[in-house]
Structure 1
Amino acid sequence: MKSKSKKIELTPPQILVIGFALIILAGAGLLTLPVSAASGVPTPFLDALFTATSATCVTGLVVVDTGTHWSLFGKIVIISLIQVGGLGFMTMATLFAFALKKRLSLKERLILQEAMNQGSMEGIVRLIRKVLVYSLTIEFTAAVIFAIRWSFDLGPVRALGYGVFHAISFFNNAGFDLFGPITGRFSSITAYADDYVINIVSMALIILGGIGFVVLSDLMEYKQRRRLSLHSKVVLSASGILILVGAIVIFIFEFTNPKTLATLNWNGKILASFFQSVSPRTAGANSIDIAGMRQASQFFIIVLMFIGASPGSTGGGIKTTTFTTLIGAIIAMIRGKEDIVLFHNRLGKDRILKAITLTMIALFWVIFVTMLLSTTEDHNFLMILFEATSAFGTVGLTMGLTPDLTTFGKLMIALTMFIGRLGPLTLAYALGPKAEKELFRYPEGKITIG
């Protein structure tokens, strides 16, 4: 009698986790090749793995300077990982399916639904088409503007390469930059702190990449539909408030700081304040020295990084919608209301429980990693907390700790970037047992809270 081999069925979250892991390993393998390094000397595997993880998880934390360490081939590998990681490997796979005129199976649609953080499969293929068109159009436009601006400083050929690289990097909220050979290692765009074109285009890319593709689609179709979904209203209002409040706080705290804003003119102060408010939304680029900021500003940036971008975007963090739900819960509790109401819409209990669960898992993980790194890294606590939060939020900002990380520190930060990109809940669903429907409910009990 023939025994039937049991077929292993992977769930969409498991496929996403495995897919991202395989892309990272492939990228790390390519980056260890001698041709990937500018010196021609093979890069240690751990450094290559860290860089591949940071690029695929669109974070921007680097242990070696991108502009000086990597060759042209290495930079192409990195920017390819950023594009695949930002849009999602399933989105890129769908692009090839469209090119080959292949229909997507039900399983593939379920994976896309999970990857885009959507509640249903309805219109998922149509959304993916829009994602690809919007992303490539935005990146192309920004690359042209960057290239024209930098052609005055770098020459036309180099400016074109820099334009393409930074347009993709900033739109995908990655924060990788190539300015090491020009303005110094790990300098980001500090040389352009008061440059209108570079700042405005960079901020526009970060914001458009961070609000999410569903919101982008809503905005593009606003003329026809004349309305926005509740999700888009929450994302846009929360993002606008966080950016404005962030810019004001940074401006006040850093106005007289000689290491940051004090040396800039008024235009530079305003631009830098807004840029450093936008960048913690998981972008990772900086126009002023993060390590030189006052501790109050650094801690405030930690809060912004923890909140992060919006669902279905290229960014990380607990997301703006989660933060808004928690704030709504606080307000409802204080007012003695039973429901959380946003823009005349009541939120379901499942949304509230998911927001609380996601926030608590994220908070526990950041605390756990910070505690571990506090025992292995010889740096002050705020710097370590900043690094852990930046990794989880896939931000990429650093106070200078990344290049000095120990082997254990690199592994923990790489794991944190991976968890932050996929999302704690997706990882939990992938690793946890299959959910089963409860056959009964326990009687309701009461405990004292507060």
Structure 2
Amino acid sequence: MAIVVPKLKFSPPQILAIGYATLILLGTVLLMLPVANTTGRALPLIDAFFTATSAVCVTGLVVVDTGTFFNGFGQSVIMVLIQIGGLGFMTMATLLALVFQRRISLRERLLLQEAMNQGSVEGIVRLIRRVLYYSIVIESVGALVFTVRLAFDMPVGQAFYYGVFHSISFFNNAGFDLFGHFSSLTAYTADPVMNLAAVLLIVLGGLGFVVLSDLADLPRKKKLSLHSKLVLSTTGVLIAFGFVVILLFEWSNPGTLGRFGLGGKFWGALLQSVTPRTAGINSVDLTSLHQATQFLLLILMFIGASPGSTAGGVKTTTFAVMIGAMLAMMRGREDVVFFRHRLGRDRILKALTIILLALALIITVAMVLSVTEDHDFMLILFETMSAFGTVGLSLGLTTDLSTFGKILIALTMFSGRVGLLTLVYALKPKKDPEKYRYPEGKIIIG
């Protein structure tokens, strides 16, 4: 069984962009079918396209309620799109090649390197095997926990189906749910089992498979890589910071955490601290949050999770590098140092480029939507940030978007999932080698 790779001379970034676009088009066709929903009528093209894009880009923004509008077939299509989109279509193609014991070519390894955001092809197939193994194990355990808990609220068969769907959705940081009426986990705000399972699935999916592999090897190697240390420390700080701030801001808010006891406040604040990092589920009414809390969620959505994971955003390492560069400049030091390791100049420039590209995209999309959509700017900015970070949280704007707005948000989701640098590399012409360098000049900064 061969991995299907276009014969034309496309670069790895171009193939990845084309592959995700093809998957979205296939999902659009399937979701448009009358047999995919409970109404028996074809879903409009723009709504099917938006839903397929949201699923493939593991976002969770929806224009129709997943649990009540789509039937078992439609929900299964969404679940498969989430799984392929979360792990990457090249990962799934590699699975088929490994099953049929086919050798992975160098070109295919280069594609996997680009898809997994790795620096080299060394060990890439071994990493893919681990990705598939970790995904199966983690999603299976999550599905079992959800099934056992939900069996108290619904028939066992339905509980199993819900368990599988939500385990896949949460681990891939997709945010789709089947609880109906756009309710997400609001019925389980104080439930420790549902919240703990959801938080662990989201965090494990957002750490990145390189970090998971590093953690699995820790008993043998007795140490973690610099990347894993930076990801784990940044993730822990962001979760703790978000938890404390949300708890303080929403403690007495009757529309959110104010109506719960200590347990409900704890789990509600914890989940809402974790989920903006591209998971897209909520256990409290987001529209009732104080604006300060909503703004905090904007920041967390922009940062996102970690490289090589199922999540989006500019990534934790990018954010950490920018903070490190700022602190180094303030201290008058030339090097950005983490855990006694100096970062190369190319890493800092790449982080800066990603931050600026992301800000440029978000600002542009939000400005355009503020012209085309007759809504409060906070709703528009929140929707835009959610789409870019492939988060899926919304303040209620998604269902009211115009056709143009849906297309623009869908393209923003696509940009966030494929990656801005990948899209830039895919669209740019072939680079000619530099034949000379200009003399260094000096300007005044600040």
TM-score with structure 2 setting the length: 0.98
Residues 1:386 and 2:386 aligned together: no
SS class of match (1:395):
coil
Give the aligned partner of residue 354 of structure 2.
Answer: 358
Partner AA of 1:76 in structure 2 = S
Give the aligned partner of residue 197 of structure 1.
Answer: 193
Residues 1:411 and 2:407 aligned together: yes
Q: CA RMSD in A?
A: 0.6
Give the aligned partner of residue 152 of structure 2.
Answer: 152
| 1:284-336 per-position Cα deviation (integer Å, ceiling 9, x unaligned) | 00000111101000011000000001000000000000000000000000000
Partner AA of 2:365 in structure 1 = V
| 1:138-174 per-position Cα deviation (integer Å, ceiling 9, x unaligned) | 0001101100000010110000000000000000000
Structure 1 unaligned spans of 5+? 1-6
Map 1:303-342 → 2, pairs under 5 A = 303-342=299-338
Residues 1:264 and 2:277 aligned together: no
Residues 1:287 and 2:287 aligned together: no
Give the aligned partner of residue 114 of structure 2.
Answer: 114
SS class of match (2:425):
helix
Give the aligned partner of residue 3 of structure 2.
Answer: none
User: Partners in 2 of 1:275 and 1:332 — Cα distance?
Assistant: 33
Map 1:157-236 → 2, pairs under 5 A = 157-180=157-180, 185-236=181-232
Partner AA of 2:146 in structure 1 = F
Give the aligned partner of residue 103 of structure 1.
Answer: 103
SS class of match (2:91):
helix
Partner AA of 1:355 in structure 2 = A
Give the aligned partner of residue 40 of structure 1.
Answer: 40
TM-score with structure 1 setting the length: 0.97
Give the aligned partner of residue 52 of structure 1.
Answer: 52
Q: Alpha-carbon deviation of 1:88?
A: 0.1
Aligned pair count?
A: 440
SS class of match (2:121):
coil
Percent of residue pairs identical: 61
User: Partners in 1 of 2:342 and 2:238 — Cα distance?
Assistant: 23
Partner AA of 2:261 in structure 1 = N
Q: Alpha-carbon deviation of 1:429?
A: 0.2
Residues 1:242 and 2:233 aligned together: no
Residues 1:426 and 2:426 aligned together: no
Partner AA of 2:409 in structure 1 = I
User: Partners in 1 of 2:194 and 2:13 — Cα distance?
Assistant: 38
SS class of match (1:281):
coil
Q: Alpha-carbon deviation of 1:62?
A: 0.2
Give the aligned partner of residue 274 of structure 2.
Answer: 278
User: Partners in 1 of 2:49 and 2:411 — Cα distance?
Assistant: 11
Q: Alpha-carbon deviation of 1:273?
A: 0.4
Partner AA of 1:47 in structure 2 = D
User: Partners in 2 of 1:8 and 1:34 — Cα distance?
Assistant: 36
User: Partners in 2 of 1:126 and 1:215 — Cα distance?
Assistant: 14
User: Partners in 2 of 1:310 and 1:434 — Cα distance?
Assistant: 29
| 1:192-223 per-position Cα deviation (integer Å, ceiling 9, x unaligned) | 00000000000000000001000000011110
Q: Alpha-carbon deviation of 1:38?
A: 1.0
The ranges of structure 1 where at least 4 consecutive aligned residues each deviate by more than 3 angstroms after the TM superposition are none
User: Partners in 2 of 1:256 and 1:152 — Cα distance?
Assistant: 31
Q: Alpha-carbon deviation of 1:435?
A: 2.1
Q: Alpha-carbon deviation of 1:439?
A: 1.1
SS class of match (1:153):
coil
Give the aligned partner of residue 443 of structure 2.
Answer: 447
Give the aligned partner of residue 87 of structure 2.
Answer: 87
SS class of match (1:152):
coil
Give the aligned partner of residue 142 of structure 2.
Answer: 142
Structure 2 unaligned spans of 5+? 1-6
Give the aligned partner of residue 13 of structure 2.
Answer: 13
Q: Alpha-carbon deviation of 1:437?
A: 2.0
Partner AA of 1:290 in structure 2 = L
Q: Alpha-carbon deviation of 1:39?
A: 1.2
User: Partners in 1 of 2:62 and 2:424 — Cα distance?
Assistant: 27
Partner AA of 1:287 in structure 2 = S
User: Partners in 2 of 1:173 and 1:281 — Cα distance?
Assistant: 8
